[in-house]
């Protein structure tokens, strides 16, 4: 998910020596601000609907520490975000077409953008900066560690901890061949069938050419009843990109891959949309994604961990599930 931070706090991301605005890639600050604003609204929606109870021991959030002591009021300062979020989704909903998504997947399969370790990729992600907040100096690695440590503290499986570490790593896409912000962050949704009314700002799909294409604007579109989400194209962004990287290069279990792929698929895991496309496998994956969601939303705090102390643990964890070490991004 997204690299969220609390509504009353946005972070300045640094790697190595403090960086100034001249080092910030064009558009990066606004990318992070949009991502934060999107997550504020998702937090509000999650609180309105309540926490989801699930039934497996590792999926059970009833006794987790992550939701204890959360000041939910601090996540409700979202009003100023709305115009920015509406403008973002207007562009995303217009441009996320079947044609674009097919080309994005062709691009993914036919070229290598970079080769590096997962840890080096986390360091590279620190080039995403937000200099708008003087009160915190938390880096992307800090946020990744916070999420992973919250999961680790609740004694979840090691692969679950690794998901916490890498779930936002797909935002590297911004440095490679993204066309802006709209194909990196934001809630995701299927393309190739009718856009659900449960998608945030659903009315802004009116300018998407697929909305009037008879091949794509019916309930099932190019899909079939209970075809399974593995056979559905989700809008291209950081989670879909990282899902394909992890699927290709890791030994992570299906539950982990689902958490990575679907953590921004809020119309599905929070609004109960698109059930007619699900199969039995998706029913189990939904529980996994819902178990991960609170960590995605609520792990961002001002606490900083000693990265030098924790790095050996997470390097070992990465090597366990990414055995080739050097990953093609």
Around Cβ 67, how many Cβ atoms within 10 Å? 15
Q: Per the annotation, does 130 bind a ligand? A: yes
Q: Per the annotation, does 76 bind a ligand? A: yes
Q: What pLDDT is stored for residue 57 in this prediction?
A: 54
Q: Per the annotation, does 221 bind a ligand? A: no
Q: Per the annotation, does 156 bind a ligand? A: no
For residue range 195-230, what is the model confidence (pLDDT) as tens digits? 999 999 999 999 999 999 999 999 999 999 999 999
pLDDT mean across residues, the chain: 83
Q: Which long-range contacts (CB under 8 A, 24 or more apart) does 159-162 make?
A: 159/252, 159/253, 159/255, 159/256, 159/321, 160/58, 160/255, 160/256, 160/259, 160/292, 161/317, 162/252, 162/256, 162/317, 162/318, 162/320, 162/321
34 located within any domain: no
Q: Per the annotation, does 142 bind a ligand? A: no
Phi, psi at residue 58, to the nearest 5°? -80, -15
Q: What pLDDT is stored for residue 138 in this prediction?
A: 66
Q: Per the annotation, does 111 bind a ligand? A: no
311 located within any domain: yes
Q: Per the annotation, does 143 bind a ligand? A: yes
38 located within any domain: no
pTM of the shown model: 0.81
For residue range 87-101, what is the model confidence (pLDDT) as tens digits? 999 999 999 999 999
Give dist(CA 288, CA 264) in Å, integer: 13
18 located within any domain: no
Q: What pLDDT is stored for residue 128 in this prediction?
A: 67
User: DSSP assignment of 244-262, as one string?
Assistant: HHHHHH----HHHHHHHHH
87 located within any domain: yes
Task: Calculate the alpha carbon distances from 218 to 206, 214, 230 in Å.
Answer: 14, 7, 20
109 located within any domain: yes
Give dist(CA 56, CA 151) in Å, integer: 15
Are 242 and 192 a contacting pair, CB within 8 Å? Answer: no
Q: What pLDDT is stored for residue 183 in this prediction?
A: 96
- Residue 44: Cβ-neighbour burial (10 angstroms; 0-12, 13-18, 19+): middle
For residue range 51-83, what is the model confidence (pLDDT) as tens digits? 544 435 555 655 566 555 555 444 434 455 578
Half-sphere exposure of 28 (CA within 13 A, CB side): 23
Confidence of residue 19 (pLDDT cuts 50, 70, 90): very low
Give dist(CA 163, CA 149) in Å, integer: 11
For residue range 154-175, what is the model confidence (pLDDT) as tens digits? 999 999 999 999 999 999 998 8
User: DSSP assignment of 261-304, as one string?
Assistant: HHTT-HHHHTT---GGG--HHHHHHHHHHHHHHHHHHH---S--
Q: Per the annotation, does 275 bind a ligand? A: no
Q: Kindly report the CA angle at 256 between 13 and 149, in degrees rounded to 5?
A: 45
Give dist(CA 224, CA 233) in Å, integer: 13
- Residue 313: Cβ-neighbour burial (10 angstroms; 0-12, 13-18, 19+): middle
**Number of compact structural domains in the chain:** 1
193 located within any domain: yes
Q: What pLDDT is stored for residue 66 in this prediction?
A: 53
Q: Kindly report the CA angle at 317 between 315 and 318, in degrees rounded to 5?
A: 65
Around Cβ 116, how many Cβ atoms within 10 Å? 16
* H/E segment holding residue 157: none
195 located within any domain: yes
Q: Which domain holds residue 168?
A: 80-328
Q: Per the annotation, does 186 bind a ligand? A: yes
Are 273 and 48 a contacting pair, CB within 8 Å? Answer: no
Tokens of 283: 């029913």
């Amino acid at each position: 998910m997204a690299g969220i931070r609390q509504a009353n706090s946005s972070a300045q991301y640094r790697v190595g020596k403090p960086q100034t605005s001249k080092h910030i890639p064009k558009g990066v600050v606004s990318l992070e601000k949009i991502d934060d604003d999107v997550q504020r609204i998702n937090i509000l929606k999650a609180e309105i609907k309540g926490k989801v109870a699930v039934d497996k021991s590792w999926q059970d959030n009833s006794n987790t520490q992550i939701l204890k002591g959360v000041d939910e009021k601090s996540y409700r300062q979202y009003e100023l975000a709305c115009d920015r979020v509406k403008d973002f989704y207007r562009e995303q909903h217009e441009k996320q077409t079947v044609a674009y998504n097919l080309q994005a997947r062709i691009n993914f399969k036919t070229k290598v953008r970079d080769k590096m370790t997962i840890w080096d990729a986390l360091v590279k992600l620190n080039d995403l900066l937000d200099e708008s907040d003087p009160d915190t100096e938390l880096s992307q690695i800090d946020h990744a560690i916070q999420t992973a440590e919250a999961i680790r503290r609740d004694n979840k499986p090691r692969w679950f901890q690794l998901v916490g570490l890498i779930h936002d790593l797909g935002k590297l896409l911004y440095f490679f061949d993204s066309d802006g912000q709209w194909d990196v962050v934001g809630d995701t949704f299927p393309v190739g069938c009718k856009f659900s009314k449960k998608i945030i700002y659903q009315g802004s799909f009116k300018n998407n050419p697929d909305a009037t294409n008879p091949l794509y604007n019916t309930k099932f579109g190019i899909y079939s009843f209970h075809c399974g989400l593995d056979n559905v194209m989700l809008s291209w962004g950081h989670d879909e990109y990282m899902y394909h990287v992890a699927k290709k290069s890791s030994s992570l279990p299906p539950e982990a891959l689902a958490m990575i792929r679907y953590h921004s698929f809020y119309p599905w895991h929070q609004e109960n949309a698109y059930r007619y496309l699900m199969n039995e496998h998706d029913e189990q994956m939904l529980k996994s994604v819902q178990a991960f969601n609170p960590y995605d939303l609520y792990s961002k705090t001002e606490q900083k961990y000693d990265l030098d102390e924790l790095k050996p643990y997470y390097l070992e964890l990465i090597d366990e599930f990414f055995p080739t070490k050097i990953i093609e991004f």
